[in-house]
Amino acid sequence: LQTHGALQRTDVVGIISHRGAAAIAPENTLAAMRFAIEQGVEFVETDVHLTADGVPVLMHDPTLDRTTSGSGEVAAHTLAEIQALDAGSWFGPDFAGEPVPTLAEFLDELARSSVRALVELKGEWTPEQLTAATELLRARGMVNRVALQSFEVDTLTELVEIAPEFARILLTREWDATTVEIAAELQVSAVGARAKLFDARPELIGQIQGLGIGTLVYTLNSQRTWSEAAERGIDLVITDDPVAFAAWRDGI
């Protein structure tokens, strides 16, 4: 993952293990991250929200209800309150007591490996909050190990100013007339979308790649969809199950 380099694979579709390895361990916990890292995936993906006291923690949803023993908004709870919650029991008894990790704890885990990460900044971030998060990444030596992804064009635009050395990924829920233009202006390393969005506009794959930008699709969990992505020339696939993906890819 080079600074400003495209997230592109030329030979075979690459793997991004989603929310750690969401099919195998509770999403966005260190148990899920460790599993993905031990599998030697190319990239592990995670989501970050800020606590009420401004600490980045690994959580997908804006609320605590689905994946922890707590309830209410992540942003309305302090780190201490969130760290007291159980983020594993909902997935299965083997994971009872798994805490919600901080971004710093995740980076410590990542640093013990050579796996690279996609960190998705969820929700809205102020320039000060982005500065603090990217300083943490820099301090942990993550400039060429972590790409920052967001659905928010404003967040990516701020990152160009605040931390241009980090690779950026534009996530999009729809194609509009300016999406590819915005990706080029922001000098992103990849554009990510649901497979059905690329199915509707397959010509965009070549257009994006022609700009030196990679393509990634989320979230695909079957051999049929992995094959379709590979046939389309998609660079990277996000999957919840890195073990099944690796077995499929080894067989093609």
Give me the active site residues, please: 18, 60
Strands 56-58 and 43-50: antiparallel
Q: Does 120 bind Ca ion (CB under 5 A)?
A: yes
Binding mask 159-198 for ligand G3P (x = CB under 6 A): ------------x--------------------x------
Task: Quote the CA–CA distance of 224 and 24 in Å, as a whole number.
Answer: 20
Written as one letter, the residue type at 66 is R
Of residues 133-162, those binding ligand G3P (CB under 6 A): 149
Stretch that binds Ca ion, among 113-121, 124-132, 208-216, 219-227 (CB under 5 A): 113-121
- Count of residues for the chain? 252
Instruction: Give the nearer residue to ligand G3P in terms of CB position, either 75 or 84.
Output: 75
How does DSSP classify residue 88? S
Q: What does the longest C-alpha to C-alpha distance in the chain come to? A: 48
Q: Which does 107 bind (CB under 5 to 8 A by kind): ligand G3P, Ca ion, none?
A: none
Torsion of CA 164, 142, 144, 182, to 10 degrees: -40
Q: Does 47 bind Ca ion (CB under 5 A)?
A: yes
Give whole-number Cα distances, 86 to 29, 60, 74, 96, in Å: 10, 15, 14, 7
Q: Does 235 bind Ca ion (CB under 5 A)?
A: no
Binding site for ligand G3P (CB under 6 A): 18, 45, 47, 60, 120, 149, 171, 192, 218-219, 238
